[in-house]
Structure 1
């Protein structure tokens, strides 16, 4: 990313724009921390499905901010998504989950919602590449400060851990953030939400293949309702938030 930007130069934001990029960096830190910590308590597939409530939450946030008008389709979409969440985590349906993990995954979805709503405004003033550069930089700084403050910052890892860490940093962080910002500017939040339906589907499939995770019938139905609700929520909005 730094090499790419060095060939064309990078803008030097100041004032409110710099503060906004800092906020996005901290937001990314919070969202990813909630997400990865949730994985310590509940299965990957469940975390992915709960996180994918965010498109419906984006719609709800747009309504609350007055960026779009309420409609029966929006209400139906949100109802589907919340019903799906109930089926995914409801212990009375034979689903055994740790409440801490569910709350962390839910916090990740809410944080990601705020991240998307805020970034859709910030990207009107800065390119996707420049935004990615600053957001990743501020997020990395926040992780570093958090590690120092918690006394958990160390590098005594084996080679395998370093390889996986580098893959997560490049393939699962730099590339997704950059393409996300570019896609958000090109197609808008609505279509981006629909296209990203592959995320939870892929997560559930890979978790089943690698970790032998199995969802109950109620959870499968809940997952379908969540995905259906998020698609309807995205389709109910005009392109571009606000």
Structure 2
């Protein structure tokens, strides 16, 4: 990531494919979404590597978003993509950038304090939160499948977090939960603002806004560390390219082939990849009941995805 990894919604043509879509095209689509999810799973690993080098979050995330946003603007320029936005749309995307600053800050701060797999799992509560908001707002009736998914998310979270005790980083857990709340707000706002706007255009505005806000924050708090950022160039490059720029076209291309509903199921590889990478690189192993909690949370995501409308966008990390 999600911060999570990056913002954006799917283009108008990235909807559930027509029945005639070839099996080869669907297979490629599933592969592209899967690779995108694995890339997202590496985000907290790059974060931990940067933290080990002493790089603080404001500089870390300012560089990430500025590099990614600049690369997107360059891509749009080279492709000759022009899309005029109204002042209201621009203000809305800047607002989404501010939301993304808060959400991504919680995500990366949490993953520096608690196991990276747990942070990734807590983020994946957002589909249940979005569904609950739709019910409370009267835009969706609570069906049996919704209720099962919501209960599974709650039980899964309780199992994944476990009983707080000595050594439990409560602040890390709270920030992980705050990430899911922040991403839910981001998704709900983006669903309104990004209609009719190409995904890469929206992403370029949001990322650039977030990058500038982090730069201002870093300068204002005396945490702008360009010299240290140069020494931490490896995790920064991995974050900007592998964890941000590479998944954008992969996810969008995959969704165009298989549709948002199927892609949302495949994207659950992200927290599983975070679990695997946490074990391989950080020696963080989930306990048995935490694996059960993970299965319940991801099962809830799949249940909610089955009911996704063909034209409903899939959030990107």
1:229 aligns with 2:300: yes
Higher percent of residues as helix? 1
Query: Which of 37, 53, 59 pairs up with 2:109?
Result: 37
CA distance in 2, matches of 1:130, 1:20: 13
TM-score normalised to the size of structure 2? 0.69
Deviation digits for residues 167-193 of structure 1 (CA, Å, limit 9, x no counterpart): 212221233355556767886654443
* Structure 1 residues 140 and 41: CA distance shift in structure 2, 3 A: same
* 1:118 to 2:185 alignment: no
Question: How many equivalent pairs are there?
Answer: 241
For residue 60 of structure 1, what is the aligned residue in structure 2? Answer: 132
The Cα of 1:95 is off from its aligned counterpart by: 9.2
Once the two structures are superposed, residues 44-74 of structure 1 have per-residue CA deviations (whole angstroms, 9 ceiling, x without a partner) of 1111111111122222222233332210110
User: 1:96 Cα deviation (Å)?
Assistant: 5.4
Q: How does 1:198-209 map to 2 (within 5 A)?
A: 198-209=269-280
Q: Is the counterpart of residue 23 in structure 1 residue 120 in structure 2?
A: no
Mean CA deviation greater in 7-16 or 111-120: 7-16
Superposed, which structure 2 residues align to 1:129-148 within 5 Å? 129-148=200-219
TM-score when normalising by structure 1:
0.89
> Which residue in 2 is equivalent to 1:86?
158
Distance verdict in 2 for CA 1:241–1:118, change over 3 Å: farther
Larger relative contact order (Cα-Cα within 8 Å, sequence gap ≥ 6): 2
Aligned equivalents of 1:91, 1:104: Cα separation in 2:
17
Structure 1 spans left out of the alignment, 5+ residues: none
Alpha-carbon distance between aligned partners in 2 of 1:121 and 1:43, rounded to the nearest angstrom: 34
Match of 2:170 in 1: 99
Distance 1:96 1:232, change over 3 A: farther
Cα deviation, residue 111, structure 1 = 1.1
Shift in alpha-carbon separation, 1:112–1:124, aligned structure 2, 3 A: same
Report the Cα offset of residue 211 of structure 1.
0.9
Q: Deviations over 1:72-111 (max 9, x none)?
A: 110111100110000111226x895311011101111111
- Superposed structure 1 runs of 4+ greater than 6 Å apart: 181-188
2:146 alignment counterpart: 74
Shift of 1:11: 2.2
| Whole-angstrom CA distance in 2 between matches of 1:128 and 1:38 | 28
Q: Against the structure 1 CA distance between its residues 176 and 222, is the aligned structure 2 distance closer, same or farther, given a 3 Å change threshold? A: same
Q: Which moved more, 1:210-219 or 1:172-181?
A: 172-181
Residues 195-238 of structure 1 show CA distances to partners (whole Å, capped at 9, x for unaligned) of 21010010001111111111111111111111111111222332
Paired with 1:152 and 1:181, the residues of 2 have a C-alpha distance of 35
Q: Which of the numbers 90, 104, 120 marks the counterpart of 1:48?
A: 120
RMSD: 2.4
Does the CA contact (< 8 Å) of 1:20 and 1:122 recur in 2? yes
Moved more, 72-81 or 230-239: 230-239
Bigger CA drift: 211-220 or 188-197?
188-197
Query: 2:34 aligns to what?
Result: none
Higher mean alpha-carbon deviation, 118-127 vs 174-183, is at: 174-183
Moved more, 191-200 or 82-91: 191-200
